[in-house]
Each structure stands twice: as structure tokens, then as C-alpha cells.
Structure 1
């Protein structure tokens, strides 16, 4: 139960429904802590935050990065408890992706398949953390009472048939497969769908789903329809997914279908549609912790002022927070550098009998590190490690990057020695980033070589790790050599590689080259570039006072759905200020996008006003 402190709050006109309501309720310790510190990134509720009549004009993710993105990957439907075990991590991988993946309607589908096997992450700070969310198995088609195939087992005949088929003739290949006397079973379909999803081959997975529904080889139930909604969201956009829901038989149009749509809306950081879907669910079903967590995740990225409203709604509906709820709130406090508030939430969580899992411990360690509290960070890392790191081997990949952020070369060396003789792929990936952060390029390259040897056919995702190291250290020549090696591997390039290439050339001062790479990536239509890929180019044009190119990149960001927050507007306005040019109608542009300026933005707007010309001066020109 919530740790409640009886305090009367009259929330006149502050309801979270589509009608005007007033709520008088007790305020939880968590909600109180979020309301108390206005400088901590969460402030007093702002009134009817989910009222459709007020927010239908809000249109349109996120903070680290698919995001991952993603278009992290982009990538959120059951209450995954983020098990602190290697198996727990595998379960998260089997989820239907972090909802950093779905492409918005304006993006359309990847014309090829897979959107590469890279994580298709989307905008923001902390997308990787957000991937530890609650999607669980909803939408994976594994909820049919069948066991998944063990690791290492040969893929099924149905999977082979689909993998071998050209993208344009999957249905024909399936028809032929049946004509050859093969039987379509739920087990076969479930394992095939799981395999396609794990390889991020969403286009073929959708084609399989469409073929199954049209041929009626198996009986569809709500979980299958939810899976279809998820795939449509990823390939064709959330609006097409919403249209499809109306075609689902009413008996199968349950909460699982709508929560899948909601999760994809949140992944796309479409605020208006997320709130609209939430309110529809609220009118059809009891409010659940999952739905509230999705809003918390959305507002963590877009508007922290609304988080308190969601917490008060949870309390009003007597919804007990899940461990993921606590994880989001801890991240909000940590990102706002409110360490005291973060620790208070941890204490509240423990008082409710919920112990921090590995994901929360790692998040705490990262926030302590960012705040310069190295002793506290290292204490948590030692707790995560346990008495014997060899018996707790799977945690190595979590420890490596955090120790690197602390500047602890010795600890990174110690942890890597545990793995080095026979490392898992994830450990190699973590080591590359860790050594890169410590500016030990040779060690990062050695870890990359070990990883390449372990992977039969390394993908661009693997190359992007080392490419990022080169980009971060402005090593253009090494980066170009690695790109040639990548080209020779015939890997499909996706958002992570584009982002690394953009950073590489921006760091070398070749902004136009970076711009050209991003333009070519957009034309390939193999997923949505990351928020950061656009932003670093926009920022450089802004510093030059290049209004034309800054506006061009800003327009691309708008098309990708990346202008729902203040940062792109700040960079664009900086271009006008540096060019000493008036930015007419800028406040109106922000208002049209439902973007509320913060103090820094208001200061920039005041500076830009100084370049306005009087009406008489304009007439005389």
C-alpha cells in the first residue's frame, strides 16, 4: 500500500478525465515529494492535464535515446519486474520491443525488412533505461500456452520459409509451404513470430500475421490481435493501428489491445494521441498501473509537471505502484539532480516492502555518479557485484560502463578480466563503450575484435559501438576505415550507425557531410533516425547563425515527430540570435506545437525580440 499522509487537496478543475471533475484525496509520500520541490523537475499539477477538451491541440519521445529511440527501439505490455538475473534480461529481450521502435504515420514503413538489427531507438536521454519497461510478453504471440524454443535450437521450417522469401512474396511462400503438406500450428506460428521479432523483422512478421488472419489457419484471439496492432504500429504507424482496432471483433477488443496501442503511442512520444487513448481506456476499463506507468514514462520525457497528476490519480483509484513506477520516479529525480528526493522515493519503496532490483540499483549508481557522489555510487556497485563476481557474472555488463563513468580504470580492468577469456557478446559491447569512455582506444578495439570473432555475421549495430568511440574522440581517419570495413561486411545500416556517422563528421567540423549522411538515411527509409542525429546538426547550424539550414533540419525533425519539447526550439532560436535576425511568430509556433517555454527559452525569446524592427523601419526598407 502507499505510505499515505492525510492531507486534503482540492483539485478543482484538475481531473484526469475528459470531464470537469474535482478530486479531494489524500496525498501519498511519493506524490508529496514530487509536489514539494519545484526545482526538482516535478511541480504542482497544472490542471486538467488529460482533459481531451483542452489537450486535443497538443500533438506530439524522449530523453537519452531510442531511443532508444527507439526508435528504441525503439521501443512498452505486461508488468515486467526486471528480474535480477540473466534469464530476466532475456525475458526483456523477448518483449515486443521498447516502443522506441514504432514509426509515426508520417514515417511510413521501412521499405526493406528488419529496420536493420540495430535497436531502433528514438529521441532522448535515457532510452536504454526505458527499455527496461513493462511490455513483457504482450504482443509477442507467445501467450498461447506453448513453450518457447530453447536457445540454440534450430529454427523452425516455417521460419526458414519466411526468411528465404523475398519481402514482396511472403504470402506466396507461405501458400507454397502449406501446399507442400506442412501444417500450420500455434506452436510453429508462436516460435516463428518470436524469432522474427527478436531479429526485428517487423515487416515480415506483419505479413505473416496478415496471412494467418486471411487464411484462418489458426484461431485468432485477443493476444494475436494485440500482436497485430503492435506490428502495424511499428510498420505503418499508430494511426493505421488505431484504424485496425475498429475492425477487430468486439469480443476480442479488450484491454490488452488498447494497452498495446497506448504503449506504441508513448513510444512515438505522441502526447495528444497517448492522452486520447488513455482516456478511452479509462472509459472502457478500470485504470491500471500499466496505463499510469505509460503516462509517467511519457511525461518523464515531455512534461514533468504532469507527473504529479498521474500519481494523484493512482492514489484516487487505489492503484498500488509497481517497481517500474518507482524506477521512473527515481530517474525523474536523478535526472533533475534532486538526490535527496531520489533517496526519499527509495525509502518509500522499501517501506512498502519493495526492494530495488538491478535496474534500479544501476540507475541509482548512474545518478550518484552524475552528481559527483562517487562513494555512494561505488557502494551500490559493490552491492550489485555481490561476494563473488564469477558467480554473479551476468552483472559485469552493467558494472563496466558505470565504473568507466566514475573514471575507475582499475575496476574496469578487474571486471573485464573476469570476462575477457570467454566473454559474452553483451560484455564485449559494454567493454567497448567503457574503454572508449576512458579514452583507452586500443582496449576498446581489442574488445571489438573479440566480439566480431564471437558473432558469425556482425551487424552494423556492432560496428556502431566502436564507431561511436571514434566519433566521441574525433578520430575521423579511424572512423572512415571502420566504415569501409562495415561496407565490406554487407551489413544493413540503421539508426545507430547513422547517428555515429553524423557525430563523427560533426566532430571533425564537416557539418555538411553529416547533413548529407542524414539526408541519405532518410531516403533509405530503413527506420527513423535518432533525435540526437538531427539535433547535433541543428546545433551546429545554430552556432553558425545559419538560419536556412537550421530551419531545414528543424522541419525534418518535425516530420519525424521530434519537436514536442523545448530543446529543438532553443537551438533554432539560437540560429536567429546568432544571425542577429528577428524571429517573428516564434512564440506562436511553439504554442501551435503545445510546447511551453521554460525560463531559459523565455530568456532567449527576450533576446530575439531585440532584433525586431519597428513597423516604420520595415516600411522604410
Structure 2
């Protein structure tokens, strides 16, 4: 069927032993071995911190699985679009799907390339590959069977008059907007309401989207199907939290309480980084005899890549036992994991294994490899892949410009960036402008970045915060506080909706300028005024700067605020917290108990920090004094 085994000595070298599967079935031992890094994080050794075992009916593994990639498992409305959650090291902003040839993708791209500027420009969404936790709408992680090019096509604007009516009257209730709508003689059917829900989702107006969904469900004349219920679960989890979403699931008719519902809820458990609840949901799905799919396994792999890399081997073992075939997305995750560990040889081996299985690295995979080659100092290899991506005639593959601009900039190739921008300059598209601003920012050519922004502003009179965000980040990265403030003021004057991604850039702007307290107060004020959840990284930037100062009080305060915003504790947060006590030369009473309560297992670095803040540690001097 599909084979990943290579040489038997690969496992011996890497120290990972996995049981073999039946003949003809994929063997995942090689990947497990290839993924082990210097810290031996992929060895499947038992962990005393986990008491519940997953996969009881298939294979005994060393520990419980935690959460996986956030996203609905199937289309839960009318959207199959992809846009951008979790730590900034996740390089996968597109939904996993079957591999299609570059020619096929290009053919479909050509069908709408001329209208690219009409694609949705969602406020507060970013094109960055590495996004924070709550930045991705789970609805955008739908339909694993969709062609990637089809998903791009579905991102074209879907006009909704009802949505426009809601936006024009933001202070009115949904019922009053509907009443006015009907009074004007307009039809109020499920299709129109669903289109409005989609538009609200794309603009991250989840509260309004939930109100629309609730109204739709109350109407007996409209049939609610499983995907409608799944969309409702997703919205409730986002707006009211996991417990409310779980309570709602219990009220869904059993005939509609299928796999899509639970996978949607699992996805939101991941968004909330609630490991315990995610494990419960996964086990519930197994108890209900839902099939183990590549989608579900990929969710686990993504979260393990972020939070607990040593458990990746467990997921791969499960995939082997269940005869689950790795997808292109699976390989992307594994390639990125090797790259993050700076093991370029191992990364290349996984690429070769992938090719041997008939899967060709797509643009996303190639871009990931370029980033890791650049970070590893292998610039020649990075440039070689970029030339391969570019092909023969870039003018015929204009859509590639937005991908290549920031990648060439990461190599410091100013001449290549200028060459590619010259192709776009005469009639630039929105996404090309955004990429060019990012590229010139990386090259520290601020005037060029500003020139691109001005050109974009001249061509597109009404810009969203998504188009302002790249230049704001350029200012933040170069500690240009005054210009950053002016840009934010301009956004306000132009009626741009300032949301979590802009807050994140503003936090960075203030923090880089040394005004941490200002960043703190600004973020808190934004939360109170807008009732929106900041990005994980926004909190962490502030928290880590307080920590470096040894400001225990404010570091603890940020820790509590993150918990209040719905972010479950992670190793990174505890590292910052313990470091604050270390810098303050103060004991951290009860810190180990707090970590245990949050199921946090200290790594080597954190364990060393804990030893320094242990109020009851014994030393040679303390023994003498006693």
C-alpha cells in the first residue's frame, strides 16, 4: 500500500523501536527514527504524568495523546476557505488535502488570477504561515478532500446583503435587523442567513455569527443538518467556551451527533490548548467507533510538534496499526519538525521517503524547507529550491511572486526581490504588495516598504487592517515607534477594524521600544473595549519582558490574564514565570504543584530553573547553618 521503511539500521541508530505491521502495510519505524533529535524526545518511554491511556483497543502506548490541529473536520457551513492558530512555529496555514499536480493547480489559478484583487481581504487575518492560537477560524480547516486550488477559488467574495445590513447597524439586535429586512420586502431564507454567517466568520465576528446560527436553528421551517450543528458547536466554543459547547453537543439529536461534531469540538479543544478535554474527546470518538483518520492523526501530530515532540512516535505507531496512510500534510509536519531541530539530513531523508511514496513536495513544503535551510546557514540549497519553485517564466506564473518575495528576502537577496517586484510593480495585486512590504522589511529597506504601501494605497482606496499590518510589523521590528503610532492613527481615521493581529503588532511596537507597561495597558484596554481574545504571542511578549526584569508581580499577572482569556498553561509560560523568580532571586513556593495541576512536565531547562527557585532545596551551606 504505502511504505516508509528504509534501512533496518535506521531504527538502531535513532533508538526508536516500533512494532511492525502486516505485510504490504506502511512501516512508520523509519520516520520515528528519523525524527529523533539530540534530546531523544521521540523515544516512546512511559510518562508518569499521564494516567489515561489512549488507543486501548489497538495498541498500548506509553502515554496519553494530547491535542492536535485545530479545525472543523468537514465543512460546517458554506465555507471551504483557508486563512490562518498556535505558536508561531507552525508553518501550515492551509488545509491538508490530496496532492494535485502543479499544472492542475496552475490551470485553476489562471481561471481567477485576473480577479485576485477581489479575493476576500479579511480584517485581522494574516497571511503569515506561523500564526497564534486563536487566529484561525476552525471553519477554515474544513473538508480534507478538497482540492487546494478549489479552496483558493472559494475564497472569492460571496456578497451578502444581509451581512452588509448587519454591519451598517452594529448596535441593533439581529431580530431588529431581520424585522427591517422583511419590512423592505426582502426574502429571509436559509441561504441568505448562511451567507451572512460565512461573511461574519471571515471577518471574525463570531458573536454575530452565533446569533445568526441560533436564529436559524429556532426556525422550524429550516432543516438543520450535521454540518450546521458542527458550525454551531464551533461558534459556541469560540464565543462562550468549551463547556458551553460540550453542553450543546448533548442537546444535538443523536441522528446528527456524528463524527463531524466531535472532530469540530476536538479542534476547539486544541485552540484552547485544553489537553485534558482533548484527550477525553478523542477517547470518546474511539468509544463511538469512529474511524481513525489521517485528519485526526495530523491534528495530534501538529500539537505534539508544538507541545510534546516525544509523543510523535506514538501517533505514527497508531497510524501504522490502523493502516492510516500519511498525507502530504503529515509529511509537511514531520519535515518541519526535523527542520526545527536543525537536522537537515533527517529533513532531507523524510523528503526522499515522501517522494518514494509518490508524493511530490508542494509549494508549502518547499517554502518550509527554504526557511530551515536559511536558518541552518545552507543558503545554496535554499536558493536552489527557490529556483525550482520559480520555474522558467515567472511572468507566466505570476501567482508565485507573493510566495517568492519574502523567501528571497530571508536569504538577503535584495536584487532578486527587486527583480520579482518589478514584474508586479506596474499593476500590483493586494497580496503581492503585502509580500513586498514584508520582504523589504526583512531587508531593512524601510523606504522601499513604505513606497510599496503608498502604491497599494493609491490603487486600492479602502484598505483593511490586513493590508496595514505588514508595514506596522516592519515599524515594530525596527523600533520605529513614532511611525507605528502614526500608521495606527491612520487606520482609525480610515475606519479600519483593529483586532488581535493589529494589537499583536502594537504590543511588539511598544515592547521593542522598551515601553512594556504601555504595551500591557494598551492590550488590557483593547480587551475590555472589544471583548476579543488577544493572540497568545501578545501576552507572551509582555510576560517574557517582565520576566527578564525579575518583575514577579506583573509576570504572575500576565499568567493569570492568559488563563482568564482561555489559554491553558504551557511549558513556555512556566519557563517565563520561573525565570522571573530566578531574576528576582526569590523562592517560588508551590510552583511544582502548580505545574503538576496543569499536567506540565518540566524539560531539562525548566528543571534547572526550578532547582534554583526551590525554597526547600538543600545545599552544603544550608546544612552547615542548620
Q: Is the 8 A contact 1:40 1:338 kept in 2?
A: no
Q: Would you say the 8 A contact 2:137–2:204 is kept in 1?
A: no
* Matched residue SS, 2:198: helix
Q: Which residue of 2 aligns with 1:603?
A: 608
1:139-218 to structure 2, matched below 5 A, reads 151=156, 155-166=159-170, 168-178=172-182, 180-218=184-222
User: What corresponds to 1:51 in structure 2?
Assistant: 53
Give the Å deviation of 1:75. 8.1
Residue by residue over 1:562-614, the C-alpha shift from the partner in whole angstroms, topping out at 9 and shown as x without a partner, is 45332222222121111111122222222221111111112222233489699
Residue 30 of structure 2 is aligned to residue 32 of structure 1: yes
Confirm whether residue 118 of structure 1 aligns to residue 124 of structure 2: yes
Q: Does 1:230 align with 2:234?
A: yes
Please say if 1:355 is aligned against 2:365. no
- TM-score when normalising by structure 1: 0.81
Are the counterparts in 2 of residues 121 and 127 from structure 1 also a CA contact under 8 Å? no
In structure 2, relative to structure 1, the CA distance for the partners of 1:528 and 1:455 (3 Å cut) is: farther
8 A contact 1:59–1:270 mirrored in 2: yes
Q: Distance in 1 between matches of 2:347 and 2:439?
A: 26
Spell out the pairing of 1:486-525 with structure 2 (5 A cutoff): 486-525=491-530
Q: CA deviation at 1:152?
A: 6.3
8 A contact 1:75–1:267 mirrored in 2: no
Q: Could you say what the CA RMSD is over the residues aligned between the two structures, in angstroms?
A: 4.0
Q: Distance in 2 between matches of 1:477 and 1:218?
A: 53
User: Which string of whole-angstrom CA distances, capped at 9 and with x for unpartnered residues, describes residues 4-63 of structure 1?
Assistant: 54989xxxxxxxxxxxxx97747955443324524277412244876269989989999x
Alignment of 1:119-518 (within 5 A): 119=125, 137-138=142-143, 151=156, 155-166=159-170, 168-178=172-182, 180-284=184-288, 285-518=290-523
Moved more, 211-220 or 422-431: 211-220
Contact 1:41 1:333 in 2 (8 A): no
Counterpart contact for 1:400–1:434, Cα < 8 Å: yes
User: How far apart are residue 425 of structure 1 and its match?
Assistant: 0.8
Among candidates 545, 559, 563, match of residue 558 of structure 1: 563
Aligned-pair distance for 1:267?
A: 2.5
- Could you give the per-residue CA deviations for residues 314-348 of structure 1, whole angstroms, max 9, x where no partner exists? 11000111111111111111111111221111111
Q: 1:88-145 CA deviation, whole Å, 9 max, x = no partner?
A: 7999xxxxxxxxxxxxxxxxxxxxxxxx8202899x95659x9799955459xxxxxx
Greater shift, 23-32 or 551-560, is seen at 23-32
Aligned to 1:12: none
Using the alignment, how far apart are the partners of 1:452 and 1:536 within structure 2?
30
- 2:163 and 2:154 mapped to 1: Cα distance? 12
Gaps of 5+ in 1: 9-21, 92-115, 140-147
Structure 2, unaligned stretches of length 5 or more? 10-17, 57-61, 71-82, 113-121, 145-152
Which is further off, 488-497 or 395-404?
488-497
| Stretch deviating more after TM superposition (388-397 or 179-188) | 179-188
Instruction: Name which of structure 1's ranges 548-557 and 358-367 shifts more when overlaid on structure 2.
Output: 548-557
Show the counterpart of 2:3.
3
Q: Is the 8 A contact 1:74 1:267 kept in 2?
A: no
Distance in 2 between the 1:266 and 1:89 partners? 36
Distance, in Å, in 2 between the alignment partners of 1:210 and 1:133 is 18
Secondary structure of the structure 1 residue equivalent to 2:251: coil
Alignment check: 8 A CA contact 1:433 1:444 kept: yes
Aligned equivalents of 1:228 and 1:132: distance in 2? 13
SS for the counterpart of 1:457 is coil
Cα offset for 1:437? 0.9
Deviations 1:398-441 (A, max 9, x none): 11111111111111111111111111111111111111111100
Q: CA 1:423–1:407 in 2, change beyond 3 Å: closer, same or farther?
A: same
- Provide the C-alpha distance between the structure 2 equivalents of 1:214 and 1:268, rounded to a whole number of angstroms: 28
Contact 1:470–1:504 under 8 Å retained in 2 = yes
Matches of 2:132 and 2:583 in 1, distance apart? 31
What secondary structure is seen at the aligned counterpart in 2 of 1:39? coil
Matched residue of 2:518: which SS? helix
**In 2: Cα distance, 1:449 partner to 1:455 partner:** 10
Question: What's the secondary structure of 1:375's corresponding residue?
Answer: helix
Q: Which residue of 2 aligns with 1:587?
A: 592
